[in-house]
Amino acid sequence: MAVEFHLEKTCRQTGARLGLLTTAHGSFHTPIFMPVGTQATVKTLTPAQLHELGAEIILSNTYHLYLRPGHALVAKAGGLHRFMQWPSSILTDSGGFQVFSLNDLRKITEEGVEFRSHLDGSRQFLSPELATEVQNALGADIIMCFDECTPYPADYNYAKASLERTVRWAARCKQAHGKPTEQALFGIIQGGIHKDLRAEGAKAMTEMDFPGYALGGLSVGEPKPLMYEILEHTVPYMPPDRPRYLMGVGSADALVEGVLRGIDMFDCVLPTRVARNGTALTANGKVVVRNAAYAEDFAPIEYGCDCYACQHFSRAYVRHLIKAEEVLGLTLISIHNLRFSLRLMADMRQAIREDRSGDFARAVLARLQS
């Protein structure tokens, strides 16, 4: 198998799991958060900075790289790791989420999805086979089945038809996968907010025996309690010896709630996206550093944080940079926000080791709401 997953333990207090995931580019403990490097770069950061803040696996987007610079170019460069000089693990999504987000610009058939490029309006097409071929060319350690990300809300019949197509597409992806010993292809469970469909999706995917399974179509607009309910219902249908990946989740509360329900992997653009609005993530909630309130605040972004930004710079300086439209402001908040998210997961792992993940989660969630 292209990846190995060793389940080290489950917390005695909750469903939280400690695992060790090994790819061709390294081993790391789960649960883990994956920073997003959409266009073969985690925005504003060098790989050296990403490494320094503790990232062990990052995500990159097939849709974007397919359109620019093109997977053939990345393959010529020696693959995505070499192209972007990220020596650790990489996961690529399948492009499904981005393509389906185009709404009026795409048309779904059994064969695949026809869409218009957000760059130049050109007519494009992605199918399970092509999405897999593109991901084979990019060469990430973990690749994803091409699925339809069922929107929220979606009625039962739509969600059912969508799920069943996603299952048929998954079989085609598996069939098309050209490098099964080098890259692990994960299945994606859809089903919207319909519990029996989620169960059906989990069973169908499990039967295809993927090395890992993702939950898709969550965190797409539904209330968080509903997402947690779906997690609680679906996770028991997923095999315990395979990593479980909740796609697109990255707020601190949802990371914690996901871990408690047995999720091992997460990704989200949130830490770097809010950085671009001058917003920092902290244990006490969001701090909008660009606000005038911080103009003469010489404290770090977050006391006690071990990141490069907090070890050196004041809120007043970061605010000055943001107001002056200096890139370094985005860089410093991105460093902090990613370090915050990665450290939260590291703390969570330690709590699982010590069978206190429930206590730890309660404390984190209480402080976030304070």
List binders of a second copy among 216-235 (CB under 8 A): none
Closest CB 1 distance from a second copy, rounded Å = 30
Residue closer to a second copy (CB basis): 41 or 117: 41
Contact residues for 297 (Cβ-Cβ < 8 A; gap 6+): 314, 315, 316, 319
List binders of a second copy among 328-367 (CB under 8 A): 328, 330-332
| 326 counts as binding a second copy under rule CB under 8 A | yes
Closest CB 122 distance from a second copy, rounded Å = 15
Closest CB 331 distance from a second copy, rounded Å = 7
| 295 counts as binding a second copy under rule CB under 8 A | yes
Any idea which residue has 């996901």 for tokens? 258
Closest CB 78 distance from a second copy, rounded Å = 8
Query: By the 8 A CB rule, do 334 and 43 touch?
Result: yes
Of positions 6, 107, 323, 367, contacts a second copy by CB under 8 A: 323
Cis ω before 153 (30° cut-off from 0): yes
| 107 counts as binding a second copy under rule CB under 8 A | no
Query: By the 8 A CB rule, do 83 and 77 touch?
Result: yes
Q: Region of 78 please: left (phi>0), alpha (psi -120 to 50) or beta.
A: left
Any idea which residue has 């965190």 for tokens? 219
Of positions 7, 24, 77, 363, contacts a second copy by CB under 8 A: 77
Residue closer to a second copy (CB basis): 156 or 298: 298
Which residues are part of the catalytic machinery?
Answer: 93, 267
| 317 counts as binding a second copy under rule CB under 8 A | yes
Any idea which residue has 């789960």 for tokens? 30
List binders of a second copy among 32-51 (CB under 8 A): 39-41, 43-49
* Span of 2-10, 66-74, 197-205, 256-264 interacting with a second copy by CB under 8 A: 66-74
Residue closer to a second copy (CB basis): 75 or 368: 75
- Count Cα atoms within 13 angstroms, Cβ side, for 359: 9
The encoded tokens of residue 173 equal: 């992806």
The one-letter amino acid at 182: E
Closest CB 45 distance from a second copy, rounded Å = 7
Any idea which residue has 């408690």 for tokens? 260
| 90 counts as binding a second copy under rule CB under 8 A | no
Of positions 9, 85, 107, 209, contacts a second copy by CB under 8 A: 85
Query: By the 8 A CB rule, do 80 and 65 touch?
Result: yes
Question: What distance in Å separates the CA atoms of residue 256 and residue 252, rounded to the nearest whole number?
Answer: 6
Query: Is the Cα dihedral 260, 261, 266, 270 positive or negative?
Result: negative
Residue 248 in 3-state DSSP?
coil
Q: Which residues of 50-74 are buried (b: 16+ CB within 10 A; e: fewer)?
A: beebbbbbbbbbbbbbbbeeebeeb
Any idea which residue has 């170019």 for tokens? 73
| 277 counts as binding a second copy under rule CB under 8 A | no
Closest CB 121 distance from a second copy, rounded Å = 17
Cis ω before 31 (30° cut-off from 0): yes
| 272 counts as binding a second copy under rule CB under 8 A | no
| Binding-residue total with a second copy (CB under 8 A) | 39
Closest CB 49 distance from a second copy, rounded Å = 8
| 203 counts as binding a second copy under rule CB under 8 A | no
| Binding residues vs a second copy (CB under 8 A) | 39-41, 43-49, 64, 68-69, 73, 76-78, 83-85, 295-296, 298, 308, 312-314, 316-317, 320-321, 323-324, 326-328, 330-332
